[in-house]
């Protein structure tokens, strides 16, 4: 302790640091020291050398006054890491709280990756990436360790239906967009092949000729046709040029990605549109149609189309015949063809006409059955006076048509519907589809005409009405309708009469309304015209009878008035009626005595 107390501290403090070196030696040492240290900046990427590896960290020398540490887990992708390897690292902090230089290999990779991506965009370079997974609308691709987005529309020039086939594969790409705010990169594979395809497309168009047969791949289907890739240029194969036969959709005979041979039908250089055909590669079916198919021949086929005027029967693909609606049934009433036939029905028909040059054929199916008007027993079956039941098929202003059997129709005139009611239109009496019983009035097989009646099923009631509705007789009736001239009155038995307005008023001067029931006197009855004239006024008011107009005397053979016997000349029907009344009165008087 004593020795330490004798140490001269003042002498030591008076000696400066490095006083033992000359100025020349100091300068030399300083230069050597500065050569071993680098000036570094935080947040930049530098290259360092591995000096040691521990269980947790990798120590790197970047030429700084101290070595830096990088977590060992950032080197998991590096095989056989050893001392002396050069590694790019990112300077996070020159000196932390412990005075340690902090480095990051992970961040260095990210910074360098973004530099490579920006450089690829600036210089339009082709880069390579690995497809990691599928995402909505496209694929996620790893480029330089950065996840980028490859839209589905940028994968290929043709539509891609299955994105999963690309997962795990390497693809050449071009960077098309960078968004640093969202760390988003958009890449494209399609852009790499478009230029080559454009050159190839132009080459194909330059060598294109009508009638040229090409091989292509179906890339898209629509209801009107398919688009075919001819090797860089697309052509349209319309649905009508796929097959000689009718098809409703291309998928019936073709598939996506199918290779097909097609012929060039037409093309437009300006619009770069190509029309293709496939059926033209095979002979037209009409050219190989057997000679046995001629007028009168029976053919079988399938209905491929139904229109308002008829249906088309396909005998073989590409050979069709029209069955007009009038040739579907012997019935004279034209109906909708769909009442008879549906698309897809398989039918037999008879050839009515055929034109091989125009490739047209008309067919009939009613000819497979006998014409009902040519039946041998037709006259007996529908003899005048026979009764039948039929279905009302049509209504007209003058009557209605009834179908008694397929092809046998008859007309019931409106006047033959009812004995008692005045039917203005058949719709007042029945409707289409109703069943009606009728009687045959006339038949003409040659003209295919049949006159029918409905009222004839009953006796003519007017023979009986003549004895009931005698002149001056009074009957109760109900007003069922009113017109400008008067009212229609329904009497017993459903018979109708007519009352003029002047004869319609009530005793109190008022006019009765429709639906009222009153007494009516018969003024006139006509069996032949089926008319009854009525009056309500005459039921409560007496009218003087006008003297009957004198009848013109008949002339005899010599031109002189013919004379009646004395007893007939002096006695009239009116006198007889008066005498009868007088006789009744006298009898009544005698009985009272």
- And the tokens for 127? 């880069």
Report whether pLDDT(237) > 90. yes
Q: What is the pLDDT of residues 497-528, one digit of tens each?
A: 999 999 999 989 899 999 999 999 999 998 87
The pLDDT tens digits of the residues spanning 457-495 come to 887 777 778 888 888 899 999 999 999 999 999 998 888
pLDDT for residue 560: 43
Query: Measuring CA to CA, which residue among 114, 131, 132, 108 is closest to residue 184?
Result: 114
- Residue 212, CB half-sphere, CA atoms under 13 Å: how many? 16
Query: Which H or E element spans position 129?
Result: strand 127-135
For residue 262, the model assigns a pLDDT of 93
Which of the pair, 146 or 553, is modelled with greater confidence? Answer: 146
> 418 burial class (0-12, 13-18, 19+ CB within 10 angstroms)?
middle
- Provide CB contacts within 8 A for 156, sequence distance 6+: 189, 190, 193
- DSSP 8-state symbol, 163: G
In tens, the pLDDT along 61-102 reads 877 767 778 888 778 777 788 888 887 787 776 666 666 777
List, in order of start, the domains of the chain with CATH numbers: 35-104 (2.40.50.140), 126-193 (2.40.50.140), 212-281 (2.40.50.140), 285-368 (2.40.50.140), 372-457 (2.40.50.140), 462-539 (2.40.50.140)
Q: Give the pair of three-digit tokens for residue 574.
A: 């009116």
**pLDDT number for residue 29:** 58
CB 260 within 8 A of CB 213: no
The torsion region of residue 448 among left (phi > 0), alpha (psi -120 to 50) and beta comes to left
CB 479 within 8 A of CB 518: yes
pLDDT (average), residues 532-540: 92
Q: Where are the alpha helices (DSSP H) in 424-485?
A: 462-468
Which of the pair, 262 or 555, is modelled with greater confidence? 262
Phi first, then psi, for residue 287 (nearest 5°) are -70, -20
Whether the predicted pLDDT of 578 surpasses 90: no
Q: Which of 264, 257, 292, 290 is nearest to 278 (CA)?
A: 264
Token pair belonging to 364: 């009939």
pLDDT of residue 543: 75
CA gap 442, 385 in Å, rounded: 9
pLDDT confidence of residue 590: 40
What CA–CA distance (Å, rounded) separates 400 from 397? Answer: 8
Residue 432 near residue 393, CB atoms below 8 Å: yes
Which residues does 147 contact at the CB level (< 8 Å), separation at least 6? 132, 140, 141, 185
Indicate the DSSP class of residue 515. T
Is residue 576 over pLDDT 50?
A: no
Residue 19's pLDDT band, with cuts at 50, 70 and 90, is low
Please state, rounded to an integer, the average pLDDT across all residues of the chain: 81
- What would the two tokens of residue 551 be? 């009848």
If you search the block for the tokens 């330089």, which residue do you land on? 144
Cα torsion 325, 328, 330, 336: sign: negative
Residues 347-359 have a mean pLDDT of: 92
Percent of the chain residues past pLDDT 70, beyond the cut? 81
* C-alpha 119, offset from chain centre: 54
β-partners of residue 324 are: 310
Which tokens belong to 186? 């958009």
Whether the per-residue pLDDT at 328 is higher than 70: the answer is: yes
The confidence score (pLDDT) of residue 567 equals 38
Q: Provide the Cα torsion 274, 278, 284, 288; round to 10°.
A: 160
Q: Is 538 helix (H, G, I), strand (E, B) or coil?
A: helix
Report how far residue 28's alpha carbon sits from residue 63's, in angstroms, rounded to the nearest whole number.
19
Instruction: Answer whether 0.85 is exceeded by the pTM.
Output: no
Residues 28-40: tens digit of each pLDDT:
655 555 555 455 5
The pLDDT score that the predictor gives to residue 299 is 93
Q: What is the mean pLDDT of residues 101-130?
A: 83
- What number is the average pLDDT over the span 544-570? 47
Distance set, CA 465 to CA 293, 330, 496, 499, 517 (Å): 67, 44, 11, 18, 20
Strand 496-500 relative to strand 531-535, pairing = parallel
């Amino acid at each position: 302790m004593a020795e330490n107390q004798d140490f001269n501290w003042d002498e030591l403090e008076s000696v400066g640091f490095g006083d033992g070196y000359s100025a020349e030696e100091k300068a030399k040492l300083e230069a050597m020291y500065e050569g071993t240290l680098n000036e570094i900046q935080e947040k930049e990427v530098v290259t360092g050398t591995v000096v040691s590896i521990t269980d947790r960290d990798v120590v790197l020398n970047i030429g700084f006054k101290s070595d830096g540490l990088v977590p060992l887990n950032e080197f998991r992708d590096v095989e056989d890491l050893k001392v002396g390897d050069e590694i790019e690292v990112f300077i996070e902090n020159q000196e932390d709280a412990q005075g340690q230089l902090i480095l990051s290999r992970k961040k260095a990779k990210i910074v360098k990756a973004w530099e490579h991506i920006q450089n690829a965009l600036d210089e339009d370079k082709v880069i390579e990436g690995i497809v990691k997974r599928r995402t909505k609308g496209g694929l996620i691709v790893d480029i330089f360790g950065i996840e980028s987005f490859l839209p589905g529309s940028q994968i290929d020039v043709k539509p891609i239906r299955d994105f999963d086939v690309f997962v795990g594969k390497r693809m050449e790409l071009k960077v098309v967009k960078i968004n640093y705010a969202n760390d988003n990169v958009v890449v494209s594979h399609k852009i790499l092949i478009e230029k080559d395809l454009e050159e190839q497309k132009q080459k194909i168009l330059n060598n294109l000729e009508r009638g040229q047969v090409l091989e292509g791949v179906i890339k898209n289907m629509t209801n009107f046709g398919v688009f075919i890739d001819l090797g860089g240029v697309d052509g349209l194969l319309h649905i009508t040029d796929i097959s000689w036969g009718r098809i409703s959709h291309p998928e019936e005979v073709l598939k996506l990605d199918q290779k097909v041979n097609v012929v060039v039908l037409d093309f437009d250089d300006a619009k770069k549109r190509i029309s293709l055909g496939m059926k033209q590669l095979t002979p037209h079916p009409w050219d190989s149609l057997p000679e046995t198919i001629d007028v009168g021949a029976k053919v079988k086929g399938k209905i491929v189309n139904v229109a308002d005027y008829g249906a088309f029967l396909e005998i073989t693909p590409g050979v069709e015949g029209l069955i007009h609606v009038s040739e579907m049934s012997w019935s004279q009433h034209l109906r909708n063809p769909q009442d008879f036939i549906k698309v897809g029905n398989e039918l037999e028909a008879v050839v009515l006409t055929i034109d091989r040059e125009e490739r047209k054929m008309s067919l009939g199916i009613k000819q497979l059955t006998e014409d009902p008007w040519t039946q041998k027993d037709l006259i007996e079956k529908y003899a005048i006076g026979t009764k039948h039941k039929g279905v009302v098929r049509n209504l007209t202003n003058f009557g209605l048509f009834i179908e008694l059997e397929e092809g046998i129709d008859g007309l019931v005139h409106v006047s033959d519907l009812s004995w008692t009611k005045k039917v203005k239109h058949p719709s007042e009496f029945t409707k289409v589809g109703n069943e009606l019983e009728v009687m045959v009035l006339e038949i003409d097989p040659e003209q295919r005409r049949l006159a029918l009646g409905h009222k004839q099923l009953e006796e003519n009631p007017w023979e009986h009405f003549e004895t009931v509705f005698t002149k001056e007789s009074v009957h109760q009736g109900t007003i069922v309708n009113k017109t400008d001239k008067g009212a229609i009155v329904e009497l017993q038995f459903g018979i109708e009469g007519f009352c003029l307005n002047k004869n319609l008023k009530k005793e109190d001067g008022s006019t009765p309304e429709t639906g009222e029931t009153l007494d009516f006197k018969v003024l006139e009855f006509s069996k032949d015209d089926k008319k009854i004239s009525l009056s309500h006024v005459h039921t409560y008011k007496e009218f003087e009878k006008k003297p009957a107009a004198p009848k013109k005397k008949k002339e005899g053979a010599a031109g002189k008035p013919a004379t009646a016997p004395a007893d007939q000349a002096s006695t009239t029907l009116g006198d007889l009626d008066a005498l009868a009344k007088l006789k009744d009165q006298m009898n009544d008087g005698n009985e009272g005595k």
